Structure 1
Amino acid sequence: MSLPTPEELRELIAAGLECTQLEVQGDGQHFFATIVSPRFSGLGRLARHRLVYAALGDGMRERVHALSMRTLAPGEALPG
């Protein structure tokens, strides 16, 4: 099984979750994503992460060793 790419994760997240900003970086095993979505409004961190994992699907979750996320609703400040 080939290692996933940041582009592959980005495409899956974008297809399954409305995003106004989406950046994914990684090396095939460890990834970091910044995701801004209106779906995150009023949700806590755990619920936001569940939405992202649902967008990735079961197959991708098994291929990704580590995914760190910064999940924000529109209007929430991106940390500097």
Structure 2
Amino acid sequence: MVTPDYIKQLITASLPCTHIVVEGDDGTHFSAVIVSAEFSGRNRVQQHQLVYKALGDRMRDEIHALSMKTFSPQEWAEQQG
């Protein structure tokens, strides 16, 4: 069964993150908050594409749904107030 920690490991193996939280308890539906400098200067679609690339075929085969909020470090700092 897929776990939040497994997804977190997959993402951080390919994408340097300064903050990442992945939640989910049914093994197929997950949500994530991801902060990475790689997101700087990219729009939301491009940011999400980087995460999907990190997850690869697992998005089709193992993970049914991933709702994510992505931020550059600057956006995250502004979000935190």
Per the normalisation by structure 1, the TM-score is 0.89
Equivalent residue number for residue 32 of structure 2: 33
Counterparts of 1:1-80 in structure 2, within 5 Å, are: 3-27=1-25, 28-58=27-57, 60-62=58-60, 63-76=62-75, 77-78=78-79
2-structure distance, mates of 1:16, 1:23: 16
Task: Give the length in aligned residue pairs.
Answer: 77
Structure 1: state its 5+ residue gaps: none
| Deviating 4+ runs (over 3 angstroms) | none
What are the ranges of 5 or more consecutive residues in structure 2 without an aligned counterpart?
none
| TM-score, with structure 2 as normaliser | 0.88
Identity of aligned residues (%): 51
- Residue type of the alignment partner of 2:73: P
| RMSD, aligned CA | 1.4
